[in-house]
Chain A
Amino acid sequence: MSLERKDEYDHKAWMKKKDLTPIEATFLTTLIWLDKRFRIVDYLELLETLYYRVNLQMPKSHTEQYNLDNKFWYWYPLYTLGLFSTLAYVVAAISGALLGFYYSPATTGDPTTAYSQIEFIMRDLQFGFMLRSVHRWAAQVMVAAVFLHMLRVYFTGSYKEPRELNWLLGIVLISLTMVFGYTGYLLPWDQLAFWAGQIGVEMARAVPLAGEWVAQLLFGGFTLSQSTLQRMYIIHVFLLPFVVTTLIAIHIGIVWVQGIAEPH
């Protein structure tokens, strides 16, 4: 495997031997001329050799061994949903960090500061409408992609031994994704957010034994107030980003170590 020039093939003599039309002869001469100067084919052959040599080292996969490709190929696009979720997360993180420059979680004033800041972003800020829309859509896409990713993992049996731990970690991640969505949903502090918050408080209180404590901890009381919004904000922009980013890193790291699961 080297880029050393091989013995030149005598193209000219070969072409004379053939009964070519002038257009074909010109075509071939031009391409040979290009080939001698831009040695793309040589580099591609190098990559080809590399590809086959690397694959020689690999044991036959389950899919290859039982020739499952025939029946299974239409699943393969769904194997990209995990990456798709990660990409949505990265987009949401970047757009969210930019939104953070303009948002402030205060319930003071009428309309509240939080709500006015959203209004400012949507109406007055250059590219603000787009920025918030990108953030919102990235969030929606992430929730959908994570859920579909989970379905794919379930129906291809990818959660099976030795990958049970990563499946459990995935369940934690899908839950945290929804917490991300919920806390973000409350931040505009409009009617939708307020009553969604009210439902959240009621749901927390409905938990047996620990309910009231959970409601106090997450919502800062049983009625919505400044502390509710402040907690949602800190959970959304401080707590969850660290936790979820770390867990995603571990989740992907485990996939890296264990390899993509073969279909079962």
Chain B
Amino acid sequence: MTDSDATSRTGDADQPRRGRRGRRDIVVPMRLYKTITVFSTLIAVVSVVLGFVFLDAATLQVSALRAVISNAFSALGLSISNGLLSTGLAVVGLAVIAFGTFVYILGTRFRAQGMGKSQEDSGEDSNNG
């Protein structure tokens, strides 16, 4: 238990505070906690799948997405080299996966009243009522 923990507890216990390892820890109402868990997980999962679809399109010459994109480019009368298309798709894919990871990690900052901290195994600190 560090000093900063003690001072933050004597103040407003409801306010976000820095945990033991310098991570933020925000207590939210139960219903909001459910919203956060469900939607951030959903977004993360969809992002990872979508990211891999893009990575597939970047590396796999038979990808449907790649075919759609290159057809769209040729319909517009633009020519795009295979290398450039692959690079672009790979960057987008990695970015989408990184976005999903970011959303998921952000979601772990929040917890409901009375829950153990999600980022470490310790239970919630007692604040003596």
Residues of chain A whose beta carbon lies under 8 Å from any beta carbon of chain B: 9, 11, 14, 17-21, 23-24, 27-28, 31-32, 34-35, 40-41, 44-45
Contacts and interface: CB of A to CB of B under 8 A. Distances in A.
Interface stretch (B32-40, B79-87, B88-96): B32-40
Contact of B106 (A14, A27, A32, A34): A27
Given A14-B29, A18-B26, A19-B16, A44 B39 contact: no
B23 interface: no
9 contacts: A9-B32, A18-B15, A19-B15, A20-B16, A23-B106, A27-B107, A31-B36, A34-B35, A40-B38
B21 interface: no
Contacts of A11: 32
Interface in B21-52: 24, 26, 29, 31-32, 34-36, 38-40, 42
A20 B106 contact: no
Main secondary structure of the interface of B (DSSP, over half): helix
A34 B14 CA distance: 25
Q: Which of B29, B39, B42 has the most CB of A within 10 A?
A: B39
B111 to A, nearest CB: 13
Nearest to B16: A19
Given A18-B15, A18-B16, A20-B26, A28 B32 contact: yes
Given A24-B106, A31-B36, A31-B40, A41 B26 contact: no
A116 B64 CA distance: 40
Contacts of A17: 14
A24 B26 contact: yes
Given A18-B16, A32-B35, A41-B34, 18 more contacts: A9-B29, A11-B32, A17-B14, A18-B14, A18-B15, A19-B16, A20-B26, A24-B16, A24-B24, A27-B106, A27-B107, A31-B36, A32-B32, A40-B38, A40-B42, A41-B35, A41-B38, A44-B38
Contacts of A35: 35, 39
Contacts of A34: 35, 39
B83 to A, nearest CB: 35
Interface string B8-24: 00000011100000001
